[in-house]
Chains A and B, each alone.
Chain A
Amino acid sequence: MQLTGADIVIRCLQDEGIDFIFGYPGGAALHIYDALYKQDTVKHILVRHEQGATHAADGYARATGKPGVVLVTSGPGVTNTVTGIATAYMDSIPMVVLTAQVPSHLIGDDAFQEVDTVGITRPCVKHNFLVSDVTKLAETMKKAFYIASSGRPGPVVVDIPKDITAQVAEYHYPELVDMRSYQPRTRGHTRQISRGLDLLLNSKRPIIYTGGGVILGNAEAPLRKLVDMLKYPCTSTLMGLGAIPASNPNFLGMLGMHGTYESNMAMHDCDVMFAVGARFDDRVTGELSRFAPDARIIQIDIDPSSIGKNVSVEVPIVGDCDMVLSQMLEQLQGRINEIDRSAVDQWWKQVNSWKSIDSLAYKTNDDSIVPQLVVERILEITKGEAYVTSDVGQHQMWAAQYYTFEKPRRWINSGGLGTMGFGLPAALGVQLAFPEETVICITGDASIQMCIQELSTCLQYGLPVKIINLNNQYMGMVRQWQEFFYDRRYSHSYMDALPDFVKLTESYGHVGMRVDKPKDLNKTLEDAFALKDRLVFVDVITDPTVNVYPMISAGKGHHEMELAPGQEEVQERELA
């Protein structure tokens, strides 16, 4: 069948089973938009800024596991996507970004709305293509989806010049692609797996440390089985929350800079560390020279370059987390008795004494709302079953600490790049994928303003996201660091002219609420969540002096956590 390039693009999306694309039209993309108009299987979501399109597609991808798709025009359309592409790249999110380009004969002429898209995006994509021949278009699209979704996932850009979208070619969408230069390994090496088990089963002070790779690799089932068999203490990175249910008795909570005391102490004192789909990020390890001094490390990762990058690993296992853990379970069946239970029990005693300090305890008062309480109330009202997106800063850490996730893909935030402005558009993408579910964006007064225009998109498509704005009138995390490390010189971290968020929300056609008294908090939140069909923006005025604890400061190790003021006494008493 002969089709134009524009029709080929849309047919490829249909054949790939894509239901939503997030985009914004413009000159070079007009042929594709015309092709989009003539069909209704692929639904286009018109955002208000291209950055919003990428975050929305990203949120959709994180929640569903399917690649998110973006369509934008050339030039500024492309440059506006760069933050969103880099966000997806840092967190290994499958995404295909279709960018229109000026006609082939104008490339390099500084044409209107021309940028070197392949050049600009190269450092923050898994791969990118410039289509120079319409007969290669369908195959390129297939490769883009294959590369984005396989191996360690990531964003792929396909740059399509306008003339290519007008040219005609025979349409054939390949079912499979075989690329000699790209063959991600999925099965783990059997011998390495048994070596890993040797180490793991002989451990006296083990810890299982899981990350975003478990979520991306849909490996929660074998992981949960393994954890239940081993009964070893487990911790998770920010990106891995929900893979092991927070209620699992072996789970110690999140680790890292704002992780729990017990997680970080167990990491520091362990003799064997089993890292699954986690990449030893600096926010997780603290100062590397003080990191887990006695640990012998086993690491599973699909990306060989993630192994041994920051920390040296004794047993590397390259492969897909789901596959490798399943292989490991097969070998484990007959070997479970090798575990030295009395040593592990002793270790648990130690871990439980750290746990008894309750490093996430916080104080409330009658005058002002403390932000941790807000997250705990939301948890109660939604019974822990909501999809929660966040922006970046203090609110993000409180959401991660106090909203306890029982399932994977429910916690959606920008971990690697730390992109403010991510939360609202991401929530939009999640709500489209799951119209019946409760989707919450926990945000702050600074972050929410970075992509606030997407309130308009939410109205257009009737997306009843619940936005909880923890409004402390500061860039809270910046303020916290300035308090701790810059002698309280609060340089430009105060928002002097905040909008009236309630009126702003109302002018976008949604429901706005404000609460500033602790006694009114429950009622307001309940009212907000009761409005099932409406987007509700709850502006929660919080105590601006509250800091995120516990904390590992720069240059410190896991065992040098600072607890919230007043908790040191508890620590001394409990550990005496």
Chain B
Amino acid sequence: MRRIISVLLENEAGALSRVAGLFSARGYNIESLTVAPTDDASLSRMTIVTRGTDNVIEQITKQLNKLVDVVKLIDLTEGQHIERELMLVKVVASGGEQREEVKRLVDIFRGRIIDVTDSTYTLEMTGNGDKVDAFLQSLAQVEVIEVVRSGVSGIGRGKRALSV
């Protein structure tokens, strides 16, 4: 089952490699992993998307908690939550009709065109994983030059929060 685990960890050199090393050493799966400092510069927040049986997920959270650099974590998928992923796509867009079609698709998905040349568009799309996937599929008739995905970030709904 797909799970999203949010982790607050000390913003120390090597903290990321401890988490990455744990997943590879114990054979856990990582679908995506994002990390950046928070409003408190001493803390980083990491969002890990993983898959596994309930037992595996329990071990993953326990093993993560055991890392000395990990301050706190929650499994976002245990409650109501919001997830977002940012994708940048560079596509070939030359000729009026093609440019129009790409523009229409971007509008339908509520994305944005953030860079324009005479032969390319660079598109920005934000949404949950499904939406981002669907947008990519809708570009099937368009020549895609490059795709960059940020990986999933997540946050609990309502008052549910991960903070120290």
Q: Which residues of A contact B (CB under 8 A)?
A: 118-119, 122-123, 126-127, 130, 132, 147, 179-182, 303-305, 308-309, 312
Contact = CB atoms under 8 A, between A and B. Distances in A.
A351 to B, nearest CB: 32
B70 A181 contact: yes
Nearest to B55: A308
Interface in B1-58: 9-10, 13-14, 17-18, 21, 25, 55, 58
B56 to A, nearest CB: 11
Given A122-B14, A303-B66, A305-B63, 16 more contacts: A126-B68, A130-B14, A132-B13, A147-B68, A180-B71, A180-B164, A181-B9, A181-B10, A304-B65, A304-B66, A305-B59, A305-B62, A308-B55, A308-B59, A309-B59, A312-B55
Contacts of A147: 68
Contacts of B55: 308, 312
B61 to A, nearest CB: 9
A184 to B, nearest CB: 10
Given A182-B68, A308-B55, A123 B25 contact: yes
Nearest to A132: B13
20 contacts: A119-B17, A122-B17, A122-B18, A122-B21, A127-B68, A130-B13, A130-B14, A132-B13, A147-B68, A179-B68, A180-B164, A181-B9, A181-B10, A181-B68, A181-B71, A304-B65, A304-B66, A305-B63, A308-B58, A312-B55
B124 interface: no
Contacts of B18: 122
A309 B9 CA distance: 24
A122 B18 CA distance: 7
A121 to B, nearest CB: 11
B123 to A, nearest CB: 38
B83 interface: no
A147 B66 CA distance: 12
Contacts of B85: none
A309 B70 CA distance: 20
A119 B18 CA distance: 9
Contacts of A182: 68
Contact of A304 (B9, B62, B69, B164): B62
A182 B12 CA distance: 14
What are the 7 tightest A-B residue pairs by CB atom distance, in nearest-first order? A305-B62, A127-B68, A181-B71, A182-B68, A304-B62, A123-B25, A305-B63
A547 B66 CA distance: 40
Contacts of A305: 59, 62-63, 65-66
Contacts of B65: 304-305
A263 B18 CA distance: 39
Contacts of B14: 118, 122, 130
Contacts of A127: 68
A181 B65 CA distance: 9
Contacts of A118: 14
Contacts of A119: 17
Contacts of A123: 21, 25
B121 to A, nearest CB: 40
Contacts of B68: 126-127, 147, 179, 181-182
